[in-house]
Structures are given as structure tokens and as C-alpha cells.
Structure 1
Amino acid sequence: MGDPSSSSGLPPLPTPTSFPFPYPQPYDIQLDLMKVVFRAIEDRKIGIVESPTGTGKSLTLLTSTLTWLEQHQQRLSNSFVEGLREKMKKDDPDEPDWVVEHSLKARLAELRGVEEKREERLRKARERERKIRRNLNMSRGVVIKKSKLQGSEGDGVQDKDRKEEEEFLPDDAQRDEEGPYLSKEVRELMDKYEALRPKSSTNEGEEEEEDLPKIYYTSRTHTQLRQLTSELLKTSFPISDPDSSTINPDQAEPSTSKGVSLVPLGSRKQLCINDKVRLLARSVAGDERLNEACLDMQKSGKRRCEYLPTKAEEGIMLDARDSVLASVKDIEDIVAIGKKSCVCPYYATRRAVKQSQIVTLPYNLLLKKNAREALDINLKDQVIVIDEAHNLIDTLLSIYSTTLTSSTISNATSQLQQYYARFKNRLKSVHSLKIRQVLSLLQGLTKVCQEFIASNGDLGGKGKGKGKVKSEVLNINELMERIGKGNDQLNPLDLVGYLKESKLARKISGFSEFVIEQNEKGSSSKTSRTTTQRHASIASFHSVESFLLALVDSKDDGRVILSSSSEEGEGNVTIKYVLLNPAERFREIVNEARSVILAGGTMEPISDFLQQLFPSIPKDRISTLSCSHVIPKDNLLTQVVSVGPRKKEFEFKYSNREDDSILTELGSVIQSTIGLVPDGVVVFLPSYAFLDKVITVWGNSGLTSKLGEKKSLFFEPQTSGDVESTLRDYALAISSGNTAEKGKKTGALLFAVVGGKLSEGINFSDQLGRCVIMVGLPFANVGSVELQERMRYIEGLPGNGKEASREMYENLCMRAVNQSIGRAIRHANDYATILLVDKRYGSPRLKNKLPKWIGQDVKIQNDFGSVARNVALFFREKRERERHNTKGV
């Protein structure tokens, strides 16, 4: 049954007063959130909900969405039965009621038979899993035991020496490779004609699958989605799982009770099990090369991937699909299935999507249109939940922006010239014409770079000096005019269509790699330069194709920024396409879906989402909720520190950051505070440059040594690889400090940067973060050309002005602040104090942009003595409470 609820024929669902929450009594904020989410889905609204970390957000979202889905499916079933009864009566109004009812029961029995067949397939899949678990004693993950597929004798990726060069010829646009090049319009007419032709009978084992109503649940990373899988197993909804109590291994016929099925979608890089193909993912252009190899190996013949069943082996793929659906698994489990069954997990998960109730996937696979198309994701009337949505705007802008360098253009041009020289006598006339036009376009881009360098000199004058950057902003039409100057035949839209249809980027990268390997034969050893060259060869033309795709997809909401830096080397130019308007790309998702829920621990300031993602959505179609925290109010103390011990006012504007006296005053605040706070203290600074300045000034004054006498000092590492070891040493210093003798240092002090490696995704719960000190306001660099263009674009939107761009600029800053200070409180029994060291936090405008659970009880202090007394009292009360609880035990 489809989802007819888009029409008004279905009865509305009332908001439940209670939900099947897995714990005896949900918190009031959890119940409120479940009601808001349920109502937003039922009413086809956009929901924006904020629920602080530690309040059971994931479990609450799952419970509310699955409650709606369960009731909706029951509503569809009831509506279907009533609709079928009415249709039977209408078709033959003279038929007695008992005959109608008899016919209805027969039809429903037929439909139940289809459902029972599905459940039987899943029951068998679960039975196979249990047997494999017993035999292999697997602790987690499930597998299917099958023999290898036929035709696996051939190599997954054969030696390039045996490749026929014809493989590198461009693909023709139409199905008949010997026919002429067909325009898009002609192919559309042919497709319509094909649609009218009678369908042939399906292959044995193949079935027509309906796309069940479902929830697409997305987050930033697979790690976060894996946690969601474990949360699903806690819910009160029936889960199909071979280890659940509903399945008795000694039972002759296990239970066929239908449960919630979850399918985790991932990329080929995460799901591919062909080792020879996976090796390609280690290169610079690994993902792109892996995708190419996978697509190439779907062709028939010896080179066909041994893990991909043919059409004749469709039953094998259906078994793999059923195994994905049979129990709740994460990516690792499904890879284990694929390795044991020798069936591709990537395509098995894709086949399982239609019959699932929940599909989990990372941001990019949902937000990018071509990724959705590649995965056959149909969002029509489905529910979308985007968790960790505070990053949504930045993510949209990032994935639709792309960068080219003049060296990449030069490399791609060289590849195309070499390719054309080799194949021009074997190319059909249409391919020869199009390739020459692509070459002309690349030469046009080169000319744009050369003219930019010529007009800006050698970065002399004002731009002279290390790191100085010259830049120029163009709209898309201006860039295309410069590219096509003197060439009226260039049509970028037509060329992008040709690149996609001919798969020219894949052909050129494959040929370039082939040439490099041929050249390597004459070399006694492979140099690192050759490896780098191979990677660049694979990436260059794809980068050009992605850039052109962004250009033709742009409306008036994109800009091209030309820049050149003295650090990049003489004559090197960067061309960056930047998207300014995320709303247009997100609109496709909003228009297709039944409901979109944006959720996060810190969603404030919510006005950013309303302004930048939903400017044209009526306000009555948007529901918002900002939950308070589950901790008692006296477990959090937040103060604005306006002045230091010497009455020096704190306002860390950019112009003040070179003032050593204000940094000295900041050092005094930290020195006084850490003596009052047990365990761990985390100080967030606005930038890496500020951190370097602090280290220098305090090092010269001897303050760093004094701080080190009280707590062990740690600083945010320069490289991501050192983050884990820094955090481990920080935690170890805190735990060892608790057992130190009186008078010795206790705990640790960690300096981090807002928006850096330690400000998001890391929990400073309990002893790791008893105090968080936020220094200044981390405003973005207003001199950034990209930021200026975004602000200018927002100002120019209907009804907007300077105030709108100012709002956006402040919101960027406050969202980063909220993410950082939200690291401190991570569960219901946690407690911490937060110091906001800058008088500007006391202004109503900025105070209102703090999370509701923080901003409601902020104390604005105009003397440091009050700050210190409140901190001392806060931790004295916590120590007394802990002593009391210990005695009670």
C-alpha cells in the first residue's frame, strides 16, 4: 500500500498523551519533545527541536517517530480495507452485503499471503543467522553461508596490460552504441514510448516491491548512527533480531512476528568487500576511483566483480537483502554478511531500502541530489530526521561548493590533449566535436587564470608579503563570458550533459592511469613522484567536471572567487565556486518529504534556520521546541565575567587582543578560578592565533608556570592525530590528581580553540569538565571574501537589510559558543560552572542566543569578587552533598 495521506481521505491521528517509552516514566521534557515531533509529522510540518545532550534525545526521537509510523501504518491498513469494501460495492451495487464481505475476505487473505511470504523469507534469514552464530561463535554481526558466485575465477581488477584501449572510448548517449548521438529531448520521447510498451514478465525470484512508509534518519558520522542502532534496541517496539527473547532456538517454527527493520546506508568505501577495488580508496582520489572501478566491474565478462550476482542469480541478491532486513545491524555487521555470503553489501543494502521502516545514512548521502539518485532514494511523503542539525547550513554550503586550481586545470588539459591525440581517429564525429569543445572550455579557464595574474601583478604593492592574498569575485555569467570569449559555440550546460553521458572523466582517468603504468614498466622502481602523479591524474578531470556541474546547477545564488596567494607560488590561481543560499538546495528535500525534523543538543540561535533554510516557508508550517535540561537548576552555575580582579574590563575585540594587560588580567581570572574548582577545567579561546599569543605572554611573565603548579597543563594539539593522546593524558592527570597529597596539584587545565579539534563531538562530562571558561566571542573573520559575499547576498533578499546580515554574523559566532560550552553537562547527574569572560555576553541580544537551559539563569557580574564567591560556594555545596550521600550509603 502506498501513502495516500497526501490526499485528505485519511482520518487525522490525535497526539498521544503517553508513548511506549522504554523506561517507566519519561522526563517532562522528553514527553514534550515526543508530542511536538509526533504532531509535526502528522501535520506535515517542519520541526526544529533542541534537546541538550544527556536528555535521551535519540531515544526520544525514535520513540516519537516510530509511534507515529506504527499508527500511520495501522491507519493505512484500515483505510485500505474500507476503500476496498466501498470499491466492491460501487462496482456491483446490486451485490448482497454478505457476498461483498466474502469477496473482501478473500482479497485480504490474498494480501496476507503476500505478507506471510515476506515474513517467511525473513524467518529463514534469521534461522540461517542463528546457525552461523552457533557454528562460528560470532559475538556480533550475522552472516549467510553460501558458495562463491559463478565466474569468480577472473580478477576483480585485472592487469592493465591486458586492457583493450577500446574501454577508454567515450560511452554513447543512447542504448544502441552504433546509432547517432541523440539529444536529451529525443531520448525523453524514446523513454516515454518505452513506458507505454507492455512489460515483460519478471525474472523468477524477482518481485515488485512497494516503497513502505519510513523514516530517513541522518547524522554527521557513522559513529553517531551506530549509537542510534543501539538506542533502537532499547525501544519498546518489536525488533526483528535473532538474539531477541521472541526467538527460541529449540522451536521448530520460530516466531514470525513483524518487527521494525533498519537499513544503514553507506558509501562504497565503507561497504565494498572486493579487496582489489578497496586498494584504490587509499589514493588521493580514492572514493572517486573506487566508484569508477565498481561501475566498470558491473559489466559482463571475466572482469565482472565476483561479489555482484548477475540477473540470472537474482535469488542470491534477494537472500542478501532479506538478511539485511531480518535483524537490526550496523555497517560492520552487514560487511560481515557480505564477506561470508560473497555478496556485495553495498547493493544488498540498496535493495533492502524499500521494505525497511528506518534508513540511517550520513548527511552527505541525503543532502546531495546526485548521491540520493545514485542510491535510488525516494523521499516522496517520507519522514526525515536530521540529528546534530546545528551543522546543517554549513554542511549544505560546503558540499555544494567546489574548488579548482590552475595547476589542476593544466593537468586536466594535458590529459585531455593526450587522450584526444591517441583516440581521435577512432572517435565518432560527435565525440570528436564535444571533446574539442571541452578542451576549448579548459583553455578558457586557463585564460581566466592568466588574465587574473596579469591584472594583479606579482602580488606586489599592497599584496606584497608572505601569505597576502589577492581576490576577485564574479557571478556565474561573468565567469562564463570570460571563458567563452571569442567562442560562441561553447554551451556549458550541453557539455556537462555530455560529460555525464559519455563518462569522459572516467575514461580519461582510466587512460591516464594506464599510460602511467605503461611508463612504469620501463622503470626499475616506482618513485613517490610517480604515485603522486597517478593520484593527480585520477583526480584532475573529475575536479573539473564537479566544478562545471556546480556552475550549471547554480542560479543567482553562487559566486566564483578567484584568488592567488604569495604562499601558493607564482602564477598559481585558485578558482572557488561558493554557494550562498542553502535554502534552494534544501527546498527539494522539504518539498518531497512529508515532514522534516531538525534536532540537536544546541540548535540556538534558531533564527538562522528560519532565515537561511526556510525563508519562504509559512511560519505556521514550522514547529519549534527548546527543551530545558534534566539536571537540577543548582547543578549549573553560569556567570558573565565583565571585569577581572584588577577591575580591568573584558571586551576581547580584535583590536584588544594585542593588549598584553588584558591577557594578564585574563590569566589572573584563570589562576584564581582553578584554585576553587576540583578536577578538570577547560578554557576555550577564540582562535589558534589567540592561543599562541596567550602562551607567549604568559610564558614570558611566568604565569604559565604558576598555573602548572596548581593543575597539569594541556593545550589543543596541532594535528588531529594527537587529539586522542592529549585527551587520554588529560583524563589521567585528573584521576591521578584526585589521589595526590595535600598541597600538590589537583586535576588538569586544558586550553582549546572554539571550532577546533576539541570543541565538538567530545564530552567533558563529570570530572573532565567541572568548569568551562569561554574567553571572548569567536566572530568569524569579517575580512573573508566568502563571508562578505554571504552577508551581501542575505542583505539583498526581499525584506532583508543590514540587520539580517548582522544577525547571521552573530549567529555564526553564538552557535560556535553554544557547541563549546555544551560540552560540560552530559547527563542528568552532572554538574559544572560556566564562565563567559567578555562583558558583551551580558547584552540581551547575545544572552538570548544562548541555549534556553543556560541563558535563563545567567548571572551578569560586574565585579570579580562575586564571581569567585559564587564558584567557591557552588563547589562547597557539591562536596557537602557528596559527603552526605556517602554517609547515607
Structure 2
Amino acid sequence: MSSQPSTSSLPPLPTPARFEFPYAEPYDIQVELMRTVFRALEDGKIAIVESPTGTGKSLTLLTATLTWLRDHEERADKEVEESLRTKLQAEDPDDPPWVIEHALKASLDTHRAAQSERLARLAAVRNKERQQRLASATGAFRSRQSKKVKVESSESNVEEEKDEEFLPEDNEVNGGEGEYLSVEVRALMARYDAMLPKTTQVEEKEEDLPKIYFASRTHTQLRQLTSELLKTTFVPSSSDTPDSEGDTHGISTVPLGSRKQLCINDKVRALARNGGDERMNEACLDMQKSNKARCEFLPKSEDVAMLDARDAVLAEVRDIEDIVQMGRKCGVCPYYSTRRAVKQAQLVTLPYNLLLQKNAREALDIDLKGQVVVIDEAHNLIDTILSIHSTTLTHHHLTSAISQLQQYLSRFKTRLKPIHTLWIRQTLSVLTGLSKVCLSFSTATPSSSNSSQNKSRAEMMDVNTFMARAGGSTDQVNLMNLVRYLKESKLARKVSGFTEKVEEDSKKRNKGERSDVRTRHAAIAAFHLVESFLLSLTDAKDDGRVILSEEGGKLELRYILLNPAERFREVVEQVRSVVLAGGTMEPINDFLRQLFPFVTPSRIITLSCSHVIPKSNLLTQVVSCGPRKIELEFKYSNRSDDSLLAELGSVILSTVGLVPDGIVVFLPSYSFLDKIKHTWTSVLPKLAERKHVFYEPQTSGEVETVLRDYSLAISTVTDQKPPGIGDKRKGALLFAVVGGKLSEGINFSDKLGRCVIMVGLPFANIASVELSERMKYVSGLPGAGPDASKELYENLCMRAVNQSIGRAIRHANDYACILLVDKRYASQRIRRKLPKWIREDVQVPPDWAGVARGLAGFFREKREREGVVSVP
């Protein structure tokens, strides 16, 4: 609440003795996690917590954070009440207690008026929905009729009006050319503006409630979070009886998503299919400013329909699909109604990119000051930050943007204000300079080692060196001001819109020609990509690099971020507390060094939970050699060794005879997968005799089909056919790739993953220019030890390993074995980077016979205890 006392003045909250967990007896690790997170939020700390998948991590996080939020708000209310009582007693010491209490109640009613009004609105929405449910009607919004505005224009001025929309926008803040005028003139204009009568009222700023921002990687993960939230006692609940007074307010929550997920305007959605997401965003923004073609689903911000939509979003816990359905029924834009609801929400769920990008936060009017941020599935947070702040620009896109801008300037030069003409020419100058750098790199004589026809070359430099090479008039251009101009003038949107119109006109003139959607989309997107690249250059400190590369005749410019800490610092320094959570957060040292080097160690709490399964339900073994006693070490240099591949084949052949149901084999790369397909001419048929064999597909569209067939092969063989009758194959074998489509977000629970085999250590290509520079940068950070770069290299590998092997155990009654097939897993240095719940009981048998005995004994014990071990 805006009038609440500051956090520092509030009395401390004790850790609850018992949390309102939706199940009667939470596991010990769940209690430990809830206490750790609660203390982190209360004490304003950063918590890095690891809780294996299958231990109810999301539900536990929600219970802990929402318990703290509820207690925090109650504490603040009590503190306000006590402060008012003390103040009233001090003002009139002789007043009897009943007078003080009467005055106190009146003051509190005034103080809580906004809150009471908000809760009453939401209760009214819930009551209306109860009535609709009883009447067998669905929907939550107030129905309204949308009238489409017909625009009549004479043919003589239609073309002129259409062209107007492509002119650059003036700087609204500074009155168009204001920022380019002298200080004296601007001061005079400001004094003149101050003398004018005020005809508009300043809108009262909406109260920003204390809240939890809960981010995850994908929309699917956020939808699962919503289903977990519905299990808790924090959701609004009420009877379906219209006259019921049992309504409880609960937590107001809102899910945020992109226009692609939330837009209900079919015409705008069609643009996403034909012109990409950027074109969809452009069309939406253009329609907001057009009085003639304004989107029929977008009322003004304070329109009753929009406020009703906001309240409907907040009244119940809904996921994005629910809100889209509601929006279609009432005719109010779900994208803007969810944005409108953020201020009054107490729990906001959103994907990574909306939280981690400053521009996205500003667009959504997200103020993180004093709030709590929880990032789930945070194991890939570092890579995500690096990725969203890195940009790629091909030379083809660059030349397309130059051509578009030249065409644009030629078309509008007589109608542009002088200041716009000046900035557009400067933009052209910069882009031409960048193109010259690319061409110079391409025509440079390659070294003898790279002199093949399909040459592959790369060169890295810092931003200053890169801009110096661009040379020419770029030296006279302030890149910060140029990017600010591009942003304020919306030039990328104007140029792209104009380009699209030219393409459409050309298509109409040549009716016989078919339009290439991909080519057209690339042409429209070109200037946006250029703008993003220039923005990256201005955002660069000493932690960014530019890579020039050429492969197969394709020239590319890439800006890469090397240090995620500075970008994440913008979040950390604003919020009250940050919680990073994941199923496999090891090695945690990476987070401490790369995300929080500016944070004092005392502010960071770490917790690595054990699993909820009994230790007897997991067997992890290092396989250092195979049945023929050949050492197994799958370094990149010997992955093509025929004897090593043959030994691996023997290991898997032996394993399939010992393990029932499903086995997943993770390989270090797609090329390694292709290698065994071509090499195992005798091994694969033998495997196929024992289990159905499947391979990870190269395209995402085939993943569901492969998983369905893999699951069906296991359930059909194990559940329906008596052993020894018909198909002799028992279960299935799936070959997957570390870091591929099946190594994250896919659950191989129960029979789908009785054994996970990790082959080798999937180290990244150390010859990569980008990785080499990142390792060099990390080793030069303050406090970095002599092994900092090696540690980074190993940690990248082990994080991928941990994600893959964590696919097997997915719930409390599950059981599986893990085989780490490479002798390097026997070293303490590597094993200590495994998740705690795995590394505590890793076995290192001396030979394959020991591994085989372990596997046989593990599954024999499970068969004998079949009536005791509950396996769904």
C-alpha cells in the first residue's frame, strides 16, 4: 500500500512453525525449502535453491512466498493501525479510550478505502461468475457490442493519407525538434507552456501493491504453475450459491504473455503468420494511434470495459488460455487487460524475457522496487541473459536495410522535417560504414589454413575497435543519440511499413508472380534487426564483443554479451529479494561468480535439497570400462575410434538385457548419434531384437510423435503381452542428445526411464571464438582464480549433464538407475558437480562385471518388493 510504513520500520516476522501446505504432511525437504525461502524474503536476501524435480518444488515455492506476502501485508496493516493510535493518543491525551478507538476506526476506514473498494469489485466479479455458472453460462466479462468504424475517403486523398502514417514521429516529450534547440530557446518555450491554462487533469497514479513476480522459461511451465497455485489456500474461493457470504479474497494474480499469445484480433494475428511477430507488434501499435482503423477490441485505458476486464483477470486464478477465451467473449483485448491488471496484482507470472529485459519491463510498466522476484527453472538463467542481450545481423539484412532506407528517403524527402532528414542521412552513413567493414573482412586474404572454397572464418573485437573500422562520418555520429532517435521516431516501424506497402503494390502489379513469404518477412524485418544491433552496441560496456564471421559465403555480424552480472544487477538492486530455483542448480559456483560478484556473500543463501525418494530407489554407477575391459573415455579426439564405439555397443547391449521397460541413452552430439547409426551395423539389429529402438528427431515437429511411439512401445509390451508370446522385445530404447529436444522439459518417469545412460562428457567446442572469449573474460574478473576459465568450461558441460540425467526420477515412488559412461566421472572434481541427491551415493565399480551385478541386484530387489514399492 502506498501509505504503508517503510520496510525498514516494520517489526521482523518470525518463520512460521507450520506452513499452510495443501497436503497434510509435507516432506522434510519441502519444509526446509519453505523456511529457507521465507527467511530470504523477510531478510532481503538472495536465495539459490536446488530441489529435484518430482519433489513439489513449484508448490513449495508458492506456499513459502505467498505465506510471506500475506504475513507481510498483515504486519504492515497492524503497524499502520498502531501508528495511528499512538498519534491520536498523543494529540489528545485526555480523551477516553472509546473516543480514541472511534477516531481510529474512522481514520483506518479512510486509509483502507482503496483496498476495500478493490476487494469489493473483485468479490462482485466472483459473485457474477457464480450466477453465470448456475445459469450454465460461461464468461467473466461484461458483454459489449463492438462497432466497426467505416472510413470513407475520396480516391484523390486515400494515397496521401496512407503515406502519412509512414512519416517519422516527433519527440513527444520535447515537442518534436525541442531537444535539438538551444538551451535558451527551450527555457523560453517551457516558460510559455507554464503560462497556458491547464485543460486536462493529471491522472492519479494507481497504487502498486506488494507482489511476487514469478518467472519461468516457457508458457507451458507457467501454465503448470497456475495448476499448482489452484491447490493452495491462497486462491479466491467461494461457494456456487449466489447468496453465499463465504467469499474469501485470496491472492490476485495475473499471467503476462506476448501479443502472439494474447491477441484476439484475427487480422493482426494473420500478420504474425505472414510477416512475423514484429509485424504483428507494429500493426497493434499503429492501430492504437489511428482514429479510423483503431482496434475494435481496445477501449481506452479508463474505459469501463477495460476496467471490468482488469477486474475479471484479477478476480480468479486463470491461465492465458482462460483469459483469451474471456477476451473473445467480451470483446476486450486480453493483452492490454492483463497489462492493466499488473499494478493491483499480488502475484504476476511471466516468461523470462519480459522480466530480464529493461525495455520489456518499461513497456509493461513493471516497477520492481521493493518487490520479490522468483525465477524458476533458473539453471539456464545465465545463458538466457547472455542470449537475450546478444544480437545477430547478416550482411544481407544490412544491405536490405540500406536499400529500404534509401528508397524511403527518396520517397519522403520533400515531406520530411529537416531534423528527420538529418538523422536519416546519419543513419545511412552508419549502416554504410558497417557494410564496408563486412566487405573488407570478406575480401581479406584468408590464412593458408582457411583457404578452402567454403571458407569459415571469424574475428572478434571490442565495440570501439569495430566502430573505428566503420570509420568515415561515423566518427561524427553520437551512437547513443542516434539510437534514441530511432526509438522515439519509430523509424524502424515506419520503414518496415513502407517496405511492406511497396511489396504489396508490386504484388498487385504482377498478379502472376507468387509472393515468397519468407523473403518478404526477411525484407520487412531487416531494419528492425539493424536497430536491435545498434542498440546492443550502445548498451555495450567492456563486457560486449562484436564477431565478424563468414561461412559458406554468408557474412554475419554478431554482438555477444560476455558478462550477465551487469544486466541482472538492474533487477537485483531494485528488488527486496531474489529467489533462483531449479531442479539441478549445480554447479552453484557459476551463479555466485557470474551473476552476483557485486553482492556481499552474507546476503546470499544456498540450499541443495535431497530427493524425496528412498536411497534404495536410485542407483548411480560410473562405467569406466566395458565388458572387454577397454577403457571408456569419449574425448572429442577419439569419438571415432572403432574399438571404443564397439565397446560402447557392448555396454548398451548388456544393459538392455538387465533393465526392464524404457532406457534413454544421452549422447554428446548429433554427429555422434549419426556416427553410431552408421557404425553399429551389427549392434543395432541386436538391440532391436530386445527392445524397440527410437532416435531423437532433428525437427521439433517430430518430437511428440517419437515420444508417443516410444511410450506406446513400452506400455504395449509390458502391460498387454505375456512374456515369451508374440513380440519378444521387452520395452524400448531411445537415443537422445544432450542439450537437444529431449534433454530438458521431458519427463521419463516410471517405465519410460528405468535407466538413463550418459555417454561421455558433452564439452562445448573449445575452438569456438565466442566460448574462448567468454573463458578469457571470466578469467580476468576480479577475484578469479587461475582455474576460472577451466571451471567455466567444466560447469557448462556438467549443467547439461545434470539436466539430462535428472529426466529419470520424477516423483516420490519412482525408481531408476543412472550409468555415467566415461572414466572421467570417477574423478572427485567432476563428481562434486553432480546434484547433491545424486553425488552422495555414486558408486565406482572396478570393472563392468561390478556394474552388471549392481544393475541386476537393483532390479531383482524391485521385482521382489513389487507388492511393497508403489509404482504408478
1:164 partner letter = K
Retained in 1: the 8 A contact 2:813–2:869? Answer: no
Task: Write the distance in 2 (CA, Å) between the matches of 1:855 and 1:198.
Answer: 73
Residue 775 of structure 1 contacts residue 838 of structure 1 at CA under 8 Å; is this kept in 2?
yes
The equivalent residue for 1:86 is 86
In 1, Cα distance between equivalents of 2:833 and 2:211: 34
Aligned mates of 2:204, 2:563 — CA distance in 1? 42
The answer on 1:309 being equivalent to 2:299 is yes
Provide the aligned length of Structure 1 versus Structure 2.
Answer: 864
Amino acid at match of 1:703: V
Alpha-carbon shift at residue 25 of structure 1 (Å)? 0.7
CA distance in structure 2 between the partners assigned to 1:167 and 1:36 by the alignment: 55
The correspondence for 2:543, drawn from 540, 552, 557, is 557
1:615 alignment partner, SS class: coil
What is the identity, as a one-letter code, of the residue corresponding to 1:279?
A: A
Q: 1:648 aligns with which of 630, 633, 649?
A: 630
Q: 1:232 and 2:216 equivalent?
A: no
1:266-321 Cα shifts (integer Å, max 9, x gaps): 1111111111111111135x22111111111112512111111136x622211111
Letter in 2 for 1:535: H
Residue 862 (structure 2) pairs with residue 842 (structure 1): no
**1:750-769 → structure 2 map (5 Å cutoff):** 750-769=734-753
Cα offsets for 1:98-137 (capped at 9, x unmatched): 5444322211123344433222211222233334445565
Of 519, 524, 546, the residue aligned with 2:506 is 519
Instruction: Tell me how far apart the structure 1 counterparts of residues 496 and 185 of structure 2 sit (CA, whole Å).
Output: 27
Structure 2 CA distance for partners of 1:386 and 1:837, relative to 1, 3 Å:
same
Distance 1:111 1:199, change over 3 A: farther
Pick aligned residue for 1:727 from 707, 716, 719:
707
Q: CA deviation at 1:461?
A: 3.2
TM-score for the superposition, normalised by structure 2: 0.94
Map Cα deviations across residues 846-886 of structure 1 (whole Å, 9 max, x no partner). Answer: 11000000000000122110100110010001001114679
CA distance in 1 between partners of 2:12 and 2:141 (Å): 43
Aligned residue among 464, 468, 477 for 1:490: 477
Q: Cα deviations across residues 463-482 of structure 1 (Å, max 9, x unaligned)? A: 24475411111101001111
Change in Cα spacing, 1:188 to 1:132, as seen in structure 2 (3 Å) is farther
Is the contact made by 2:125 and 2:140 (CA closer than 8 Å) also made in structure 1?
Answer: no
| Distance of aligned partners of 1:622 and 1:329 in 2 relative to their CA distance in 1, 3 Å threshold | same
Name the residue aligned to 2:617.
635
Counterpart residue type for residue 506 of structure 2: N
Distance 1:377 1:885, change over 3 A: closer
Note the C-alpha offset of 1:462. 1.7
Contact persistence 1:424–1:432 (CA under 8 A): yes
| Preserved CA contact (<8 Å) 1:715 1:752 | yes
For residue 496 of structure 2, what is the aligned residue in structure 1? 509
Pick the aligned partner of 1:248 from 236, 240, 243: 240
- Letter of the 1:617 partner, please give it: V
Contact 2:127 2:242 in 1 (8 A): no
Q: Give 2:782's aligned residue.
A: 798
One-letter amino acid matched to 1:824: A
CA contact (8 A) 2:131 2:242 kept: no
* Residues 225-264 of structure 1: CA deviation (Å, up to 9, x unaligned): 1111111111122x22xxx4x223341x654532111100
Q: 1:874 to 1:495 in 2, by over 3 A?
A: same
1:470 paired to 2:489: no
- Residues 1:714 and 1:463: Cα distance change in structure 2 (over 3 Å): same
Q: Which ranges of structure 1 fall in alignment gaps of 5 or more residues?
A: none
Q: What are the Cα deviations for residues 441-487 of structure 1, in whole angstroms up to 9, with x where unaligned?
A: 01001110111112245xx7322447541111110100111123355
Pair 1:879 & 2:868 matched: no
Change (3 A) 1:573 1:103: same
Residue identity over aligned pairs, in percent, reads 62
Q: Which residue of 2 aligns with 1:862?
A: 846
Cα distance in 2 for partners of 1:515, 1:766 equals 57
Distance 1:582 1:124 in 2: 45
1:649: Cα distance to partner?
0.7
SS in 1 for 2:795: helix
- Checking the alignment, whether the CA contact within 8 Å between 2:429 and 2:473 is kept in structure 1 is no
Alignment correspondent of 2:25: 25
Q: 2:425 aligns with which of 420, 436, 452?
A: 436
Confirm or deny: 8 A CA contact 1:416 1:439 kept in the other structure: yes
| Aligned counterpart, 1:259 | 250
Structure 1 Cα separation of the partners of residues 500 and 779 of structure 2: 48
SS where residue 741 of structure 2 aligns? coil
Q: What is the deviation of 1:4?
A: 5.8
- 1:747 is matched by which residue type in structure 2? G
Confirm or deny: 8 A CA contact 1:170 1:503 kept in the other structure. Answer: yes
In structure 2, the residue matched to 1:455 is 444
Q: Distance in 2 between matches of 1:646 and 1:748?
A: 25
- Structure 1 window deviating more from structure 2 (498-507 vs 159-168): it is 159-168
Q: 1:267 to 1:199 in 2, by over 3 A?
A: farther
Matches within 5 A, 1:665-676: 665-676=647-658
User: 1:784-826 CA deviation, whole Å, 9 max, x = no partner?
Assistant: 0000010010011112244111111100000000000000000
Stretch of structure 1 that moved more, 119-128 or 504-513: 119-128
CA distance in 2 between partners of 1:456 and 1:111 (Å): 75
Question: What is the distance in 1 between the residues matched to 2:425 and 2:227?
Answer: 55
Q: Given the alignment of the two structures, is residue 539 of structure 1 paired with residue 555 of structure 2, yes or no? A: no
RMSD over aligned CA atoms reads: 2.7
1:217 counterpart letter in structure 2: F
Contact residue 621 and residue 819 of structure 2 kept, 8 A: yes
Report the Cα distance in structure 2 between the residues aligned to 1:717 and 1:646, rounded to whole angstroms: 32
- What is the alpha-carbon distance in structure 1 between the residues aligned to residue 592 and residue 174 of structure 2? 49
Q: Aligned AA for 1:555?
A: K
Per the alignment, residue 686 of structure 2 pairs with 706
Q: Which moved more, 1:512-521 or 1:177-186?
A: 177-186
Aligned to 2:768: 784
Moved more, 611-620 or 816-825: 611-620
Separation in structure 2 between the aligned mates of residue 162 and residue 762 of structure 1, nearest angstrom: 54
**Is contact 2:177–2:419 with CA below 8 Å preserved after alignment?**
no
**Contact map agreement 1:143 1:336 (CA 8 A) in 2:** no
1:535-592 per-position Cα deviation (integer Å, ceiling 9, x unaligned): 1222000000000001001100000000001x2x3xx410000000000000000001
SS for the counterpart of 2:620 is strand
Tell me whether 335-344 or 760-769 shows the greater mean CA deviation.
Answer: 335-344
3-state SS of the aligned residue for 1:678? coil
CA contact (8 A) 1:3 1:76 kept: no
Q: CA deviation at 1:36?
A: 0.2
- Separation in 1 of the partners of 2:198 and 2:43? 38
Which segment drifts farther, 177-186 or 435-444? Answer: 177-186
Q: CA deviation at 1:516?
A: 1.3
Shift of 1:607: 0.6
Letter in structure 2 aligned against 1:213: P
Displacement of 1:213 in angstroms is: 0.6
Q: Are residues 1:575 and 2:562 paired?
A: no
C-alpha separation in 2, matches of 1:94 and 1:345: 56
- In the alignment, the residues of structure 2 paired with residue 153 and residue 464 of structure 1 have an alpha-carbon distance, to the nearest angstrom, of 63
2:260 partner amino acid: K
Cα deviations by residue, 1:360-418 (Å, 9 ceiling, x for unpaired): 00010001110111000111111111000001001000000001111111000000000
The amino acid of 2:816's aligned partner reads: A
Which residue of structure 2 aligns with residue 295 of structure 1? 285
Q: For 1:364, give the aligned amino acid.
A: N
Aligned to 1:829: 813
Report if aligned partners of 1:46, 1:623 keep a CA contact under 8 Å in 2.
Answer: yes
Structure 1 distance, partners of 2:184, 2:612, is: 62
For 2:379 and 2:368, how far apart are their aligned partners in 1? 22
Q: Does 1:616 align with 2:598?
A: yes
Matched ranges for 1:119-138 at <5 A: 119-134=119-134, 137-138=137-138
Is 1:210 equivalent to 2:210 in the alignment?
A: no
CA distance in 2: counterparts of 1:829 and 1:875, whole angstroms: 15
Secondary structure (helix, strand or coil) at the match of 1:104 reads helix
Where 1:108 maps in the other structure, the secondary structure is: helix
